[in-house]
Amino acid sequence: MKISILLVIALALVSLPLAAENVEGILVDKMCSGKIVEKGYGAAKMHTKMCALMDNCKASGFGVVTADGKFLKFDAAGDKQALKALESTDKADNITVKVDGKISGGNLKVKSLSLS
């Protein structure tokens, strides 16, 4: 009986929708994110628009490096929004972004994205 109750509770928790979150940080491509996270948030600020738009970097997708040094990879919709934002900005580096979405693991399902 106790196992049945625990199973029902566990299933209920798993099926809860993920909470919406607002995330701020530096927009970077996934290909460069590993080196950037190793070096810290300051390295994210120096990451350039030109690099992020190189073919291989652009193809890897995008994400945000947060102030605490974590990288959250965007979903496909977020990648499209990030690419559009990058192509339209005049900033060369330190491309800060505000993202509204849902975090699951190390990924971010993007609802909306804006450069700040």
Mean pLDDT value of segment 68-96: 97
Are 71 and 37 contacting, i.e. CB atoms less than 8 angstroms apart? Answer: yes
Write out the two tokens for 64. 């945000």
Q: Output phi, psi for 48, to 5 deg.
A: -95, 155
Per-residue model confidence as pLDDT tens digits over 32-78: 999 999 999 999 999 999 999 999 999 999 999 999 999 999 999 99
CB atoms within 10 A of CB 84: 11
